[in-house]
Structure 1
Amino acid sequence: MSEKVVLHYIDGRGKMEPIRWLLAAAGVEFEEVFMTKREHYEKLVNEGSLMFQQVPLVEIDGMQLVQSRAILNYIAGKYNLYGKDLKERALIDMYVEGISDLMELIMMSPFIPPENKQKSLSNIEQKAKERFLPVFEKGLANSHFLVGNQLSRADVHLLEVSLMLEELFPTILSTFPKVQAFQGKMKALPRISKFLQPGSARKPPPDEAYVNVVKEVFSHVFKEK
């Protein structure tokens, strides 16, 4: 197994993108192996690399890590992005779980049938404005960070999801000045700024080609639905 961090996933965002973000924020370089055909996924399964026959898969520190939360928890803990004690970790987890719920809605939107697309987008926008963004606005009222006095994984994921929201709804942060200010400060951090530059490992918004590759590689999932 390579000593370098290696990511196995589709050449697109999905559940790997928060992992890319967190590694970038930690200053960790990584390589990627992209699955483009069903056979690539089946090879990982047959090799026994996927504990539950699911990706993302991350090779790190001599391990083959699967399950997004486990991967993100490990990276955050290893690179001091998980608070200073258990109480801070619990708060970080709460924020991250909420962010993940919002991300899930956004990540699934490209797979919504065209006739339901507008309804889906309206649902995302409403929930973002009424359920999620007010929580982050309040959390940033008296601090530059969501938890404690240092950067955590919650901050990294909030930046990511705020940018995802703006891709869909360009003015959505206009009534959330604390989140807007937070976003500006986060984007100025050297490691984050580097990740936001053209040519980085950050993936573009999903398009039709990405959707088709996902359906090809994970055809078993779509047959089950």
Structure 2
Amino acid sequence: MVTYTLQYFHLRGRAQPLRMLLEDQGLSWEDEVVSPETWYQGDLKKTCAFGQLPALKDGDFILFQSNAILRYLGRAHNLYGKDKQEAALIDMVNDGIEDLRLKYVKLIYQTYDEEKEQYIKNLPNDLQHFECCLSKNNAGKGFIVGDKISFADYSFLDVLLNHLVLAPSCLQDFPLLKAYVERLSARPKIKSFLECDAHKSRPINWNRKQ
């Protein structure tokens, strides 16, 4: 059985979609928690390809950058669509998810106090695109692309769960997205993960704003 090590902080952050993927797929993995003290010493940071975590260790192979890790796991575990067209659509959607994640991260770490209200007001403009994407795949009753879960679904679920904390009513006008979150969150292994103490103890963001 493949054993992975996911190296990250005691934080949900960028590692959260990776954890959900690993858990939901029943893969053997361990969480290597990096303390702030260790990180600020600088020695570990120097070993990171771009000075950032998370890192995934697969035997002697170490990979950085969260989306690269998602794609790596997607290729390794049949989570990248059934053909090249589905793979391209998964990449497209994941790029859109990343755009939304970056807007969220900018808000949380740079402009939270002055722009939170406006961000929430503008959020439907972003969510409507995803509602449309979902509607075009099996009438929105399954996954974001294709008939099988992909790595993009884990990233999308994470982004939506974060926004439901930021703005609990943000999906009220998006019935497909709301049902999507409920459906994926109810997958037995994801449900168990979201309910475990280890998950609940991790803050969403480093500065604890949410």
- Does the alignment reach a TM-score above 0.5? yes
Match of 1:76 in 2: 74
Check if 1:65 corresponds to 2:63.
Answer: yes
Cα shift at 1:180 = 1.8
Counterpart CA distance in 2 for 1:129 and 1:144 is: 17
Per the alignment, do residues 171 and 40 of structure 1 end up closer, same or farther by CA in structure 2, a change over 3 Å counting?
Answer: closer
Cα shift at 1:62 = 2.5
Q: How do 1:37-48 and structure 2 match up within 5 A?
A: 37=36, 39-40=38-39, 42-46=42-46, 48=47
Counterpart CA distance in 1 for 2:114 and 2:129 is: 22
Q: Which residue among 158, 161, 175 is the counterpart of 2:159?
A: 161
Counterpart CA distance in 1 for 2:80 and 2:142 is: 16
Counterpart CA distance in 2 for 1:6 and 1:33 is: 7
**Structure 1 counterpart SS, 2:85:** helix
Deviations 1:58-94 (A, max 9, x none): 1113311112222111111111111111111001111
Identity over aligned pairs, percent: 30
Over 6 Å off, 4+ runs: none
Q: Are the aligned partners of 2:12 and 2:202 in contact in 1 as well (CA < 8 Å)?
A: yes
Deviations 1:126-145 (A, max 9, x none): 44344444433444525512
Check if 1:211 corresponds to 2:207.
Answer: yes
Counterpart CA distance in 2 for 1:156 and 1:134 is: 18
The unaligned stretches of length 5 or more in structure 1 are: 213-225
Equivalent pairs counted in the alignment come to 206
The unaligned stretches of length 5 or more in structure 2 are: none
Q: Are the aligned partners of 1:56 and 1:66 in contact in 2 as well (CA < 8 Å)?
A: yes
Check if 1:128 corresponds to 2:132.
Answer: no
Q: How do 1:3-152 and structure 2 match up within 5 A?
A: 4-37=3-36, 39-40=38-39, 42-46=42-46, 48=47, 50-113=48-111, 115-118=113-116, 121-122=119-120, 125-139=123-137, 141=139, 143-152=141-150
**Structure 1 counterpart SS, 2:6:** strand
**Structure 1 counterpart SS, 2:171:** helix
Counterpart CA distance in 1 for 2:56 and 2:86 is: 26
Residue identity opposite 2:123 in structure 1: E
Residue identity opposite 1:44 in structure 2: L
Quote the RMSD (CA, aligned, Å).
Answer: 2.7
TM-score between the two structures when normalised by the length of structure 2? 0.82
TM-score between the two structures when normalised by the length of structure 1? 0.78
